[in-house]
Structure 1
């Protein structure tokens, strides 16, 4: 297990490096273009405390970290782990822990970058806690990251064939919606409306069910996928 943990920490470090390059490169390019177009834009940075500007810059890479980690999970980390003799069960368990931690970091980082300064430290972090560190929001980030990792593992295992079910499901859904609209089948459309309303009103439960399903699919990929040449 210690070997697996060290390997996972190295994977997080690699993902953070790429996330930092993307985030800081993007920020630098954005501010350069913005300054060239309107030099007075820098004056807006003085409307909030220096520590908040510094925190926003420091935490910026965490907004991309879970995405980069999920991408590398399917395309590189899993393959390397199996070749190095890491237990599939250990890899699966530690990966879930990593994704939970990354979801927490992403939720907090998103809150820092999106919540507007209201003149009070207490109100600022209360807004982050209520809107971004809720169980529903963290579960949403977790399911998004795990879904991306599963997609990457599917590409790793099935190559281009992994896109066939995605295209088929999208095409089938489009045909069903088009047919329902053309025939005026309001009852059929109402089913989707009711499902959407239920999901909105029970977001935490719905995301929990989706998360459990994705964990099961992720486990199957980890335990059943052989190393590809």
Structure 2
């Protein structure tokens, strides 16, 4: 009975919050680029963060994401337990800025290859695996003096056994929240760490 109660509590109360961390109701319901690549997902996660900077200042961090590039701005040691070879950069590197549609980022030796499906500077970056069973969109929405960075994952679980689906719900979903929350905050921190000069030439950090 206790386990059943915990399971119900997780699905009804905690799970929706993990899958929509930081996102507003409008952002959760809004159509995003890449949605059409997987119109019938078994799982949709929409998470977001506010960054006090324009899209042009955020975009370079997004476009260099990936193993062997800028990393994922999250917990590298956890990523590397899976052999992903992630090393999160703390600087923008020119050689990692030339991402184009059709380019592929490999997530480890046994992980999926995520191809760039949509790239529209400086607002939209969409990845998908070969079967479009996983579509990941990173979009920037400017609002006044800040920008909303919204991440959406659309995932198909077709072909997985009941046990695999349970493990996915109990392990992968909470784990994805831990890692993606850190990623969004990691990008925010890196962007806002840069000091901006005021009219007198004095540099001030953007508030976190």
TM-score by length of 1: 0.22
State which structure, 1 or 2, has the greater radius of gyration over its C-alpha atoms. 1
Larger fraction in helix? 1
TM-score of the pair, normalised by structure 2: 0.23
